[in-house]
Amino acid sequence: MNRSARAFWLRSPGHGEVRELTLAEPAEDEVVVRSLWSGISRGTETLVFRGGVPASQHAVMRAPFQEGDFPGPVKYGYLNVGVVEEGPEELTGRTVFCLYPHQTRYVVPVSAVTVVPDGVPAERAVLAGTVETAVNALWDAAPLVGDRIAVVGGGMVGCSVAALLARFPGVRVQLVDADPARAAVAEALGVGFAGPDQALGECDLVVHASATEQGLARSLELLRAEGTVIELSWYGDRRVALPLGEAFHSRRLTVRGSQVGTVSPARANRSYADRLALALDLLADPALDALITGESAFEDLPEVMPRLASGEIPALCHRVRYDKSA
């Protein structure tokens, strides 16, 4: 069995490289996975690539199989789909999702992989980690039938939330983004779209995912009295000013954080594995293909990542393709 592998590393902020390595022999409770696809979220991963993780959050922001430390050198990533080459008989040959960085082959515990359902294409399953974030956010938000909801920020996470909300009966869902190109994505997901100035107000709930100060302020403006903003944005090392004067108190508004690192207290009886399995089941919906907006080969990552981080390549989820002989 081929024990060689290649991995993408952030050498220093803004500079990546592919490194060769040799895999360890798998133990009895481990599997060897050959990568088929991995995904890059333009939010968290490009923030890491730019060196924007504040020192106070280095421990919190560690990915499950990260090597090295922020700001670098570090091997980072968490959206990987591959096929099990070695392991228990019931897993060998199965397509699995794992929270693993960009690497051609890897060895992980059996407990770290989740089988991709037969109805979910491997190339779409790279979205599982982001849809899992959306599931957790909606467990926190607890939307109700007939709610008026805005999702501010049409990035990968915001679009995932909007896609799930589109399935709720009787809700008015509007994706709000400054980029008019996101209108096509909203249409594919089955939700409305508006620029920030045209967004519908009197919302019962606003999910904010734009990672901008302006987006969060606009989210508050869109609420009805006693409405709630669920804050999903990750700002890294940036400070954010929030207008808590004016009518914030008299209207009794709420801003509540949500983060995928812990299972929502509203679903404390569910495990991380339950949440991820649910996310993978939800990916049977082909509408979610709209979240994948680009693709490149693994070998090209040192050139592609700087372009994603700068915005030269506009993307929601950028998919990484691995050669079958890797």
What is the predicted pLDDT for the residue at 324? Answer: 63
Question: Over 90: is that where the pLDDT of 238 sits?
Answer: no
Question: Is there a single domain that holds both residue 149 and residue 258?
Answer: yes
The pLDDT assigned to 312 comes to: 92
Q: What is the mean pLDDT of the chain?
A: 94
What average pLDDT does this structure show over 302-307? 96
| Residue 279 within a domain | no
Q: What is the pLDDT of residue 1?
A: 66
> Per the domain annotation, does 114 fall within a domain?
yes
Percent of the chain with pLDDT over 90: 86
DSSP state of 264: -
- Residues 11-54 pLDDT 10s: 999 999 999 999 999 999 999 999 999 999 877 899 899 998 98
Report the alpha-carbon distance of residue 166 to residue 262 in Å, rounded. Answer: 25
Q: Band of the pLDDT at 57, cuts 50, 70, 90?
A: confident
| Residues 193, 325: Cα–Cα separation, whole Å | 43
Q: What is the pLDDT of residues 195-214, one digit of tens each?
A: 999 999 999 999 999 999 99
pTM, full prediction:
0.91
- For the record, the structure tokens of 52 come out as 């924007």
Hey, what are 194's tokens?
A: 């508006």
Q: Is the pLDDT at 60 greater than 90, yes or no?
A: no
Read off the CATH number of the domain in which 200 is found: 3.40.50.720
Domain-embedded: residue 326: no
Q: Give the phi and the psi of residue 114 in degrees, each rounded to 5.
A: -125, 125
Residue 67 within a domain: yes
Q: Which domain holds residue 239?
A: 130-267
Find, among 170, 180, 227, 182, the residue nearest to 204 by Cα. 227
Residue 105 lies in a domain: yes
Question: What pLDDT, on the 0 to 100 scale, is given for residue 326?
Answer: 57
Over 80: is that where the pLDDT of 322 sits? yes
Q: Is residue 184 part of a domain?
A: yes
Could you tell me if 232 and 165 are in contact, meaning their C-beta atoms sit under 8 angstroms apart? no
Give me the pLDDT at residue 235, please.
Answer: 80
